[in-house]
Structure 1
Amino acid sequence: MAHRLAGLLENLVEATATPYPVDRYLEFVSPMLTWRETRAKVVRHERRTDRTVTLTLAPTRQWKGHVAGQYVEVSTVVDGVRHRRFFSPANAEQDARTIELTVTAHDDGFISKHLRENVRAGDVLGLGTAAGAFTLPAQRPEHTVLVSGGSGITPVISMLRTLVAEGHHKPVTLVHYARSADDVPYLAELEATARAIGNVDVRLHFTRTADGERFDGGRFAPEHLDGLADADGAQVFLCGPSSLMTQVREHMDARGLGDRLHSEAFTVDTAPVIDPNQPITGTLTYTESDTASENDGRTILEQAEATGLNPEYGCRMGICFSCTKVRKSGCTRNILTGELDSEADQPIQICVSAPVGDVDIEL
């Protein structure tokens, strides 16, 4: 009853605050004073490696915490435009008072570079609700195997920290791939944890030698999981670049262990599907912009950007629905599922939808 009354009060306050939501007025007093929206103040900004930034955030009262492995939408304003991206909290799920994000600033990462170079302690970011099914089971595995590559370490170190915080005593092995030791933002913690806790084993593989030369021996090899993935009761949790994900998945399937693998990708392969029996044809028409382009097989988002348009998007992975637009006519293929859909006047996610023939999109 109390929860229902609180909801009615919130709706009443919102109704009397027109034409803008209450939070638009409150932010003039303080950006951390909110009625409905969740925000977080940056309380620490660390550059632990040459390419990353670790942000410690103090969220407003609306934050309900996360489950280890989940992701959260983070929004920030750059030159008057709000941008949204998704990151996995790295802190243990037991700590709901802060949020730790470690972001890798890629060369083409507009927001990741902004967070590293421009965001400072005291700045305020927008937050969404934690979501995602890449989580540990309530009944912890007999042997937990965490496999990560590059920035994929953030959700799995959250899992490791969570298991350590709850006093989990069964074997936990973390296998991580990086260019070098200098590229592992949690190196000191991982090594200290492995030394101090007997059931935790950390195995690091590097793809560059000490002088920076490429070292293929540091890339994934099936023997890296020998005695781990096939151990009694083992469950494997995988997050990393698409190449690592593919190799581990193929290895697990070949060994008949595919049902033990749980994974989350932070990139999506958007390369056009080449089918000799169905050549790429058609015209993609952007009905709101009075322009068109010849279909080249890529996603509608990528083709629109190549045409010079700037559609709104968030994750580029089909998670956040920020890029949803109405397909007025034509057929599209969902690149995640392969499903074809040609129903007119349907909202679709243009980041994971590719045209099949002529398509009119409300963009």
Structure 2
Amino acid sequence: MVLNSSFARVGWRRAHRLLTSRAVTALTVPHGVDRYLGLINPLWSVNEVRAAVVAVAHHTPATVTLTLRPNGNWNGARAGQYVRFAVEIDGVRRTRCFSLAGSEHRTDGLIEITAKVNPTGTVSAYLKRNARPGQIVALSQAEGEFVLPAALPEHILLISGGSGITPVMSILRTLTDRRYTGRITFLHYATGPEDVVYRDELAALAAANPLLTLAPAYPRLPGTGRLRGRFDREHLLEIAPDYAEALCYACGPASLLDAVGALWWAEEIGDRLRIERFATPAPPTGAGDATGEVRFGRSGVSTPGDGRTLLEQAEAAGLRPEYGCRMGICHTCTSVKSSGSVRNVLNGTITAEPGERIQLCINAPCGDVELDI
């Protein structure tokens, strides 16, 4: 919580004890302490990480970059991690996962995210059109294991495609701030030079560091870029023939990551590969039992089961449960299942425990199910 008045003088711990005391909790029912703190300063919160947008940049036509100043609840991040980012759109809080792009050694307290805009999407398109300095958003603490080891190897290989450059850029910026003395090889795949978000910065970093090799590739534009065509082993042999000895970080579209993973595992060097995926396999349509009834208890709504995920069936019934990634990553759509059995459409696991919390986006009903929605 950012406190710049009397709270700052008495100290965060004393203020937190006061604000979370039974007396204050009782006085602020039913809205809670944060609702009243927000009337004074929208960044103030007892526990939630909130952040103010301090800058908005449009480096390419299809991206938007936000620089954010989080409040004092922010615990910091390691290079390569991501946050769950929440913004209110038309009265509904929408959540998406975004990788952090900045160095973990940044000293001004600011963090940076870059979103690739999906023209038919909700959050990214909203941010492209409407993000402004001073806007307040909510964040989770940083998450993810796509991070650097404590002991750095002599050679780090970075492979990214499209918007997958963001966590890889965080790693590169961090290595630069650490004055890393090993080799860095960076292969980046994009539709064209104008679509590379950090193109000018990458060129400047490469010019300043003789141990950094930058190899852009534009598969759709033959004759451009340093590499030709889509990723393959020949690219590695041309740029980094000792790639098998490097520690590799890869992030980008599924086709790129599948090709990278297949090569590393075929050569039995998978233990030296770190992959960050922005998507999981899409839940199959008809993944559940197309019989029975789905009841939404608090809403008093029922609908025949049709085999789709519970999130899809709730929306089809006219409800608006909160959701974020729609693929089982962010947990925004987690709700209580009062009764019935559901099947996880990603791994096939069936659970029937009453009162359990489930993710609506990756669970489909098996027969009659009731949800506390």
- Describe how 1:92-107 pairs up with structure 2 within 5 A: 92-95=103-106, 97-107=109-119
Q: Which runs of 5+ in 2 are unaligned?
A: 1-10
Distance of 2:326 and 2:249 partners within structure 1: 22
Is 1:86 aligned to residue 97 of structure 2? yes
Q: Deviations over 1:144-164 (max 9, x none)?
A: 111111111111100000000
Is 1:286 aligned to residue 294 of structure 2? yes
1:82: Cα distance to partner?
A: 1.5
CA contact (8 A) 2:82 2:142 kept: yes
Is 1:185 aligned to residue 197 of structure 2? yes
Which residue in 2 is equivalent to 1:324?
334
1:200: Cα distance to partner?
A: 1.1
Q: Which amino acid aligns with 1:282?
A: A
Task: Choose which of 115, 131, 154 in structure 2 pairs with 1:119.
Answer: 131
1:136: Cα distance to partner?
A: 1.0
Task: Choose which of 339, 351, 359 in structure 2 pairs with 1:349.
Answer: 359
Tell me: CA distance 1:138–1:305, structure 2 relative to 1, closer, same or farther (3 Å).
same
Distance of 2:310 and 2:261 partners within structure 1: 28
Distance of 2:352 and 2:236 partners within structure 1: 44
Distance of 1:361 and 1:255 partners within structure 2: 49
Task: Choose which of 28, 33, 39 in structure 1 pairs with 2:50.
Answer: 39
Tell me: CA distance 1:220–1:60, structure 2 relative to 1, closer, same or farther (3 Å).
same
Q: Which amino acid aligns with 2:81?
A: Q
CA contact (8 A) 1:326 1:348 kept: yes
Distance of 2:186 and 2:223 partners within structure 1: 26
Task: Choose which of 144, 148, 154 in structure 2 pairs with 1:132.
Answer: 144
1:177: Cα distance to partner?
A: 1.2
Which residue in 1 is equivalent to 2:3?
none
Tell me: CA distance 1:349–1:194, structure 2 relative to 1, closer, same or farther (3 Å).
same
1:218: Cα distance to partner?
A: 3.1
CA contact (8 A) 1:331 1:359 kept: no
1:304: Cα distance to partner?
A: 4.1
Q: Which amino acid aligns with 1:117?
A: R
- Describe how 1:228-239 pairs up with structure 2 within 5 A: 228=240, 231=243, 233-239=245-251
Distance of 1:306 and 1:211 partners within structure 2: 48
Which residue in 1 is equivalent to 2:320?
310
Distance of 1:361 and 1:222 partners within structure 2: 51
Q: Deviations over 1:205-224 (max 9, x none)?
A: 11322899xxx953222222
Report the 3-state secondary structure (helix = DSSP H, G, I; strand = E; otherwise coil) of the residue aligned with 1:26. helix
Distance of 2:311 and 2:236 partners within structure 1: 38
Which residue in 2 is equivalent to 1:73?
84
Distance of 1:338 and 1:228 partners within structure 2: 41
240-249 vs 224-233, which deviates more?
Answer: 224-233
Q: Deviations over 1:169-203 (max 9, x none)?
A: 11111211111111111011111111110111111
Is 1:11 aligned to residue 20 of structure 2? yes
Which residue in 2 is equivalent to 1:196?
208
CA contact (8 A) 1:325 1:361 kept: no
Q: Which amino acid aligns with 2:290?
A: G
CA contact (8 A) 1:332 1:359 kept: no
Tell me: CA distance 1:58–1:338, structure 2 relative to 1, closer, same or farther (3 Å).
same
Distance of 1:305 and 1:317 partners within structure 2: 16
CA contact (8 A) 2:157 2:246 kept: yes
Tell me: CA distance 1:177–1:331, structure 2 relative to 1, closer, same or farther (3 Å).
same
318-327 vs 148-157, which deviates more?
Answer: 318-327
User: Alpha carbon RMSD of aligned pairs, Å?
Assistant: 2.8
CA contact (8 A) 2:80 2:170 kept: yes
Is 1:253 aligned to residue 265 of structure 2? yes
1:48: Cα distance to partner?
A: 0.7
CA contact (8 A) 1:145 1:229 kept: no
Task: Choose which of 40, 53, 65 in structure 1 pairs with 2:64.
Answer: 53
Q: Which amino acid aligns with 1:341?
A: T
- Describe how 1:196-215 pairs up with structure 2 within 5 A: 196-209=208-221
- Describe how 1:211-230 pairs up with structure 2 within 5 A: 217-226=228-237, 228=240
TM-score w.r.t. length of structure 2: 0.85
CA contact (8 A) 2:284 2:345 kept: no
Distance of 2:260 and 2:59 partners within structure 1: 28
Report the 3-state secondary structure (helix = DSSP H, G, I; strand = E; otherwise coil) of the residue aligned with 2:20. helix
Distance of 1:269 and 1:115 partners within structure 2: 26
Q: Deviations over 1:63-94 (max 9, x none)?
A: 22110011112211112222111111111001
Is 1:360 aligned to residue 372 of structure 2? no
Report the 3-state secondary structure (helix = DSSP H, G, I; strand = E; otherwise coil) of the residue aligned with 2:157. strand
Q: Deviations over 1:252-279 (max 9, x none)?
A: 11111112111121112114299xxxx9
